[in-house]
Structure 1
Amino acid sequence: MKLLNEIIDALSSQESSLTGALLKTKVLLHHIGHKELVEWVNHELNGYPHDGELPEYRILPAQVLANLANMAYQVNSHPIPLGHLDDEVRERFEAAKMYQSLAVLEKLTADEDGVLESPIPMQYNGIFGGSLANGYKIQRVWSSIGKADVAQIFIQVRSRLLDFVLELKEQIGDNVPDQEIKKRTDSIDASSLFSNAIFGNNTTIVVGNHNSQDVTNIIAKGNFPALAEHLKKHGIAESNIAELQTAIKTDENTLEVRQKQFGPAVKTWLQNMLSKAVDASWNIELGVASSLLATALQNYYGWP
């Protein structure tokens, strides 16, 4: 139980190392006799194979930008319209697949710039140039990925893994000696717990204070009153909830939402709420706040 509690403590605090929590999770999975579940942990630590399937939270929205020029003018970082392309081709460039390890992603987001660039080979210039007027030609083209979107990967991994270990602890029970955990988990379908938390349509809302968490299943897809009531119970002001409702409506037709990612307005709202956790104007631990908000919104949208 000590190892399980250490993982929960690490995942509940943004100050604790996510890599450390993942490594301890590997030890835990071996200890309870479920080595087959280590693959996801290894992929997050080492990166995903390019010929394998990525979790949806690692497929991010991207915008195609280009430097353009004609006989008279030069235009830099200009959005390229893609409406003339087939949906399959558009998705290839508007959906960025992030195969890198968490350590690499952390380094990529460490710089001050707010975006990442993924170069697009020159042979595609002709395809993108078909929508341009006034004699403009493409000099360079790339996909732009917001670092805030990349940062959501860390929140997703932390939140989903926290869902699993909390559910596992609840089913094992409190104050179980470490040597008894394996025996307790023999009667638990740990594989399903893990799959539902990490990959499935998980409707678990994780709330709590420090080492005490309550788990409830109360938010159905599209049920904003239930979402609002849940947030209100955990100290979020009605004015902030109204702002969230406006943000959700603003984002409802955005590319990000179609790709099962939070839209720009909701991301701004999330950042504002997390800043309240930091400056203590919202009395909740930062790590718990990020898990609470991200998971609650995913449940509202009906995302896995």
Structure 2
Amino acid sequence: MSILREIQAAILQDNPNLGTILLKLRFLASRLGSEPLEDWVKFEAEGYPKDADVPEYRVAALSFRGSWSGPFGSGINNAPIPTALVEEHASKEWTRYKVRESIATVQDMAASGKTMGINASNLILLLQGKVYEDFACNSIIAEMSQIAIQEIVQTVRARILELTIELEKRVPAAVEVTLQQLISSKTPETAAAVTQIFNQTVYGNVTHVTATDGAQVTLAITAGDTVSMMSELARAGLPDDAAKEITNIVASEGRPPAADKPLGPKALEWIKKNAPKAASGAWKIGSAVATDLLKEAALKYYGLK
């Protein structure tokens, strides 16, 4: 049986062992030559390091509870804290937790039926006097719901299945890979096709731009949304003011007549004018990569990709 068929058979079982399935998928990705797929499988199997972006499906909402002591021995115990209050006095980062643990650990947590506790001791100082006046905050507990944990497991399972189905349809070589096969099935065309399928099925509305040094910049831009475009360009390395300026230009020029020329004359003039800044190292991204980045961003903004 081919590796792809083994993965499909295993993923369709009740309570599949996602750790073992990911090992097989990593082998398949290696034989097909898709490094982005290999990286995703490695992170899911071993956990996401602190310097790696986590997929959106691994970002979960947190709920908060706390205890306070007041005058004359009074107190408030185990009272809920509104997330809006946490975001106002701390930041939104506190309410959206990035789950970096391996999928095997997440699967064990999902099977346990317990909520996941997060260290929120630093919030005590940030929320002191902000929740109940004249009461001292003694402790804060942050938790991720059991449903959120189960959703991560289900999402990974569903995307592995969808990925293998698309590979079966569009990359014939993927079905031929077996443990006994000594010759690799990887070719530039196969690797590109597998990577495209991976980006579409796993990350959905996300674009990867590859720099000349092999580094990748990921864009998650919603069509017609200037806020997401500005945010993603700034995260990719453009200064905030530059990201805002070029986003406004792209939005004002309107949808182009052809997808192969997503940038209008004003945007191209802006790139020409700012190219020296990128080339000089004043920006965190080179001029060549910046051009590709802006083209991809425009395509995503216009809904052409």
TM category, shorter: 0.5 to 0.7
User: How do 1:98-247 and structure 2 match up within 5 A?
Assistant: 98-113=99-114, 115-122=115-122, 124-133=123-132, 135-173=134-172, 177-178=176-177, 182=185, 186=189, 189-201=193-205
Q: Match for residue 268 of structure 2?
A: none
Q: Match for residue 77 of structure 2?
A: 76
Q: Which amino acid counterpart does residue 162 of structure 1 have in structure 2?
A: L
- SS of 1:131's partner is coil
Q: Match for residue 17 of structure 1?
A: 17
Matched pairs, number: 201
- SS of 2:127's partner is helix
Structure with the greater alpha carbon radius of gyration: 2
Q: Where does structure 1 lack aligned partners over 5 or more consecutive residues?
A: 203-220, 222-304
Deviations 1:187-237 (A, max 9, x none): 5611100111111239xxxxxxxxxxxxxxxxxx9xxxxxxxxxxxxxxxx
- Relative to structure 1, is the Cα distance of residues 51 and 22 closer, same or farther in structure 2, using a 3 angstrom cutoff? same
Q: Which amino acid counterpart does residue 137 of structure 2 have in structure 1?
A: I
Greater Cα offset, 37-46 or 101-110? 101-110
Displacement of 1:185:
8.8
- SS of 2:40's partner is helix
Asked whether the 8 Å contact 2:63–2:83 carries over to 1, the reply is no
Q: 1 CA distance for matches of 2:148 and 2:186? A: 41
Q: 1 CA distance for matches of 2:89 and 2:126? A: 14
Q: 1 CA distance for matches of 2:17 and 2:102? A: 14
Greater Cα offset, 186-195 or 96-105? 186-195
Q: 1 CA distance for matches of 2:57 and 2:121? A: 26
Deviations 1:31-87 (A, max 9, x none): 223245211111011110112211111110001211222234333221123545655
Q: 2 CA distance for matches of 1:24 and 1:84? A: 45
Q: Which amino acid counterpart does residue 195 of structure 1 have in structure 2?
A: N
Q: TM-score, normalised by structure 2?
A: 0.58
Q: 2 CA distance for matches of 1:182 and 1:48? A: 28
- SS of 2:97's partner is strand
- SS of 2:51's partner is coil
Displacement of 1:136:
2.2
User: How do 1:265-276 and structure 2 match up within 5 A?
Assistant: none
Displacement of 1:181:
8.7
Q: 1 CA distance for matches of 2:174 and 2:86? A: 59
Q: Which has the higher contact order (CA 8 A, sep 6+)?
A: 1
Displacement of 1:16:
2.4
Asked whether the 8 Å contact 1:63–1:93 carries over to 2, the reply is no
Q: Match for residue 59 of structure 1?
A: 59
- Relative to structure 1, is the Cα distance of residues 90 and 184 closer, same or farther in structure 2, using a 3 angstrom cutoff? closer
Q: Where does structure 2 lack aligned partners over 5 or more consecutive residues?
A: 207-222, 224-305
- SS of 1:64's partner is strand
Asked whether the 8 Å contact 2:67–2:138 carries over to 1, the reply is yes
Q: Which amino acid counterpart does residue 34 of structure 1 have in structure 2?
A: S
- Relative to structure 1, is the Cα distance of residues 57 and 165 closer, same or farther in structure 2, using a 3 angstrom cutoff? same
- Among all aligned residue pairs of Structure 1 and Structure 2, give the percentage whose two residues are the same amino acid: 22
